[in-house]
Amino acid sequence: MFWTRVATTAVLAPITLSAVYAGFPFFHVMIALMGAAVLWEFTQVVEKIRLTPRVTAALIATVVGVGVAYNNIELSLAVITITWIVLLITDRSARRFSNSATQAALIFAALPAIALVAVFSIGGAATVFWLLAIVWGTDIGAYVVGRLVGGARLAPVISPNKTWSGSIGGLIIAVLAAAFVNMVVGIGISFSHLICAAGLSVIAQIGDLAESRFKRQHGVKDSGTWIPGHGGVMDRLDGLWTAAPVTALICATSDGGLASW
């Protein structure tokens, strides 16, 4: 399993980094596909829904929303909002008075995907590389340090294999990885960069735990089987999916990317 994870990462990481470097349309197509995959896996975990018209509409809205976000974030959010309202109205018309898995999946899949496009649009490729370094550094650091050091469990009820040592190790590696990207792209390392990196690492870990709890609630080990050694797309994007909206908010409030923070 370990070497399968390593081999898969060795293939997927360069593809991801190349798409970020290439920019439009490669990066945006990749994010749209990620969003669609997350939406599909979410519906399968919760209700094992087939490709119904409702799921198809949500998939199309996610892809279109990401595509539109390249030029107009507001219009992109409007596409998602209108689709969500249509899904809600159809639920009420069919006398289903609890929100469906498709509605929840649309929000969960589309908004972080749009946030990633916003990070790219506002902060450029350097900021996306920086964010990926934090998320990947968190994952790798937590996995390696947790296995080597072990110790007290971080959240035994939710995810028995995660440890406090792994969590701290992941945070340290994430900050170091972020600082390395700063140096590579020629941006000075500031205290605010380090604080943001540490905060985003914590948020990524919260996203990882939240997805573990989500899977445990629905009695599944992995969200899918698309990525050998890793499980599903949701399993690999959980940290990124929670850190991306926060990074987009930082970019929006600072009116720029990494260089302006």
Q: Which two tokens stand for residue 36?
A: 């669609």
**Residue ranges per structural domain of the chain:** 2-260
Q: For 156-205, how does the pLDDT look when each residue is reduced to its tens digit (9 = 90+)?
A: 889 888 999 999 999 999 999 999 999 999 999 999 999 999 999 999 99
Q: Which residue has the higher pLDDT, 140 or 1?
A: 140
Average pLDDT over residues 203-210: 97
Q: What angle do CA 127, 137, 119 make, to 5 degrees?
A: 20
- Identify the pLDDT of residue 221: 87
Q: For 46-71, how does the pLDDT look when each residue is reduced to its tens digit (9 = 90+)?
A: 988 788 899 999 999 999 999 999 88
163 φ/ψ angles, rounded to the nearest 5 degrees: -125, 160
| pLDDT range class, residue 74, cuts 50, 70, 90 | very high
| pLDDT range class, residue 95, cuts 50, 70, 90 | confident
Q: For 17-48, how does the pLDDT look when each residue is reduced to its tens digit (9 = 90+)?
A: 999 999 999 999 999 999 999 999 999 999 88
Q: Give me the helices (H) in the chain, please.
A: 2-22, 26-46, 53-68, 73-93, 101-149, 164-184, 191-217, 233-254
Q: For 157-169, how does the pLDDT look when each residue is reduced to its tens digit (9 = 90+)?
A: 898 889 999 999 9
| pLDDT range class, residue 96, cuts 50, 70, 90 | low
Q: Does residue 207 carry a pLDDT above 60?
A: yes
| Least-confidence region, from 137-141, 182-186, 229-233 | 229-233
Tell me if 87 sits within 8 A of 57, measured CB to CB. yes
pTM, to two decimals = 0.93
